[in-house]
Amino acid sequence: MPASISSSALSVPGSRIRELAEIAMGMDGVLKLYFGEADIPTPAFIQQAAQKALSDGYTYYTENAGLPSLREELARYYSRLHGVELDPSSEIAVTASGVQALSLALRCLVDPGDEAFVLTPAWPNGASILRLAHAVVHEMPQVLRGDRYAVDFDALEAAVTPRTRVLLYTSPSNPLGWVATANDQDRLLEFARRHKLWLVADEVYERLFYAGSTVPSILCKATRDDAVIVVQSFSKAWCMTGWRLGWLVARKDFLSHAIPLNEFFVSCAASFVQKAAETALRDGEDWIRTLVARLKNNRDHALAALRRMPGVVVPEPDGAFYLFPRIEGAGDSFAFAKRLLMETKVGLAPGVAFGAGGEGNVRICYASQREVVEEAMIRMASFLMR
């Protein structure tokens, strides 16, 4: 019998976002609203900090948990932003991207055959990481109630079993822009405590919030004994997608086991990138305020334009930088997005890429230059009115 590929690898489909993007990358003049990143470069003060770190010799391995100085800066950041006091030596771990933080966390929580809940529609990486670990994934669609998405707690209660280990959710949500309220957080924590589950909160978009400076972290509600893990990244708020730097906040007992495993994933994040991140945390507040104001203007323009289009239903998002409109006649969202791309050169992400509850929608990343967003809305409106 010939050598074969593992069943876990074969069970995970490729990204439908990437599939659409690969088509777009072979075309000229595409308005690229399919990836989750802004089209502006990392701010100069962070670039300069990285250059200085290279000159200062930060080109070697660091601790598996990351530079102590960065972990200390992260602890100060949580104290300043959320009023949460963390021990940088035992409750924070630096990772080589947010997705690596998520991978490290989830791979430490499930064994083959264990079950996990993922609130969807959601960025597909969480469910795929769980499947690679041979876990059984239950995608639990958030429901649209009036003009706001909500967690279906009745569905969660009905689906929980003795093998359920994890509940993963994202706030602000990619792709919904939904933000967990204080009541949502209370109920998620109560559900996790009662069923003895790990609650994994993807808070990567916490600074991209339109009703305050930041989304209140689940850490503001959790005790030191709660089975809560927060996944974070420098990619979004500081426009550092290509730098690949993230972090985890979790209980000491969890991180005491997870941190040594970083050795077998990446050893450590790049040292000069970690030094630049310290500067981002210390000096980035003005940058974030400017970025959020720009994003809100783009959101408001795109939202108004979509609501004038025939057959489009779209709630107003509270955070992140996405709109997730449901479009009449787009039952096959990949076919719809591909046709839109080929005929108008507007590149969007198909809703089917985001799991249960996503089909029939498309995701629009409005973090591009304003003129790109405006032109994309004009072309999309023309396409839908044909």
Give 235-289 pLDDT, tens digit per residue: 999 999 999 999 999 999 999 999 999 999 999 999 999 999 999 999 999 999 9
Query: Each residue of 319-339: pLDDT tens digit?
Result: 999 999 999 999 999 999 999
Examine the pLDDT at 11 and tell me if it is beyond 90.
no
Q: How confident is the model over 175-192, as a mean pLDDT?
A: 97
Q: Provide the pLDDT for residue 7.
A: 84
Q: How confident is the model over 154-166, as a mean pLDDT?
A: 98
Examine the pLDDT at 375 and tell me if it is beyond 90.
yes
Examine the pLDDT at 2 and tell me if it is beyond 80.
no
Query: Each residue of 44-76: pLDDT tens digit?
Result: 999 999 999 999 999 999 999 999 999 999 999
Q: CA-CA distances (angstroms) from residue 144 to 11, 75, 139?
A: 30, 36, 16
- Asked whether the beta carbons of 346 and 31 are under 8 A apart, the reply is yes
Q: Provide the pLDDT for residue 1.
A: 57
Q: Provide the pLDDT for residue 277.
A: 98
What share of the chain has pLDDT > 70, as a percent?
Answer: 100
Q: Provide the pLDDT for residue 13.
A: 81
Q: How far apart are CA 53 and CA 243, in angstroms?
A: 14
Which among 246, 242, 236 has a CA at the least distance from the CA of 269?
246
Name the pTM for this structure. 0.95
Q: How far apart are CA 34 and CA 13, in angstroms?
A: 18
Tell how strand 346-347 and strand 326-327 pair up: unpaired
pLDDT confidence tier of residue 353, bands split at 50, 70 and 90: very high
Tokens of 175: 């792709």
pLDDT confidence tier of residue 6, bands split at 50, 70 and 90: confident
Residue 41 DSSP code: P
Q: How confident is the model over 27-49, as a mean pLDDT?
A: 96
Q: What is the chain's mean pLDDT, rounded?
A: 96
What are the DSSP E strand ranges found in the chain? 31-32, 92-95, 115-120, 136-141, 143-145, 148-150, 164-170, 198-202, 228-233, 246-249, 312-313, 322-323, 326-327, 346-347, 349-350, 362-365
Q: Provide the pLDDT for residue 4.
A: 84
For residues 57-89, one letter each, b for 16 or more C-beta atoms within 10 angstroms of the residue's C-beta and e for the rest, the string is ebeeebbbbbbeebbebbbebbeebbebebebe
- Asked whether the beta carbons of 227 and 233 are under 8 A apart, the reply is no
Examine the pLDDT at 132 and tell me if it is beyond 70.
yes
Sheet-wide strand order for 362-365: 322-323, 362-365, 349-350
Q: CA-CA distances (angstroms) from residue 212 to 173, 284, 304, 314?
A: 16, 16, 22, 22
Determine how many CB atoms are found less than 10 A away from the CB of residue 48: 12
Q: Provide the pLDDT for residue 21.
A: 95
Q: How far apart are CA 36 and CA 236, in angstroms?
A: 8
- Asked whether the beta carbons of 263 and 57 are under 8 A apart, the reply is no
Which among 348, 290, 19, 324 has a CA at the least distance from the CA of 177?
324
Token pair 């929580």 in the structure block, residue: 109
pLDDT confidence tier of residue 212, bands split at 50, 70 and 90: confident
Tell how strand 322-323 and strand 92-95 pair up: unpaired
Q: Which residues pair with 139 in a beta bridge?
A: 118
Among the listed ranges 1-10, 224-233, 374-383, which one has the minimum average pLDDT value? 1-10
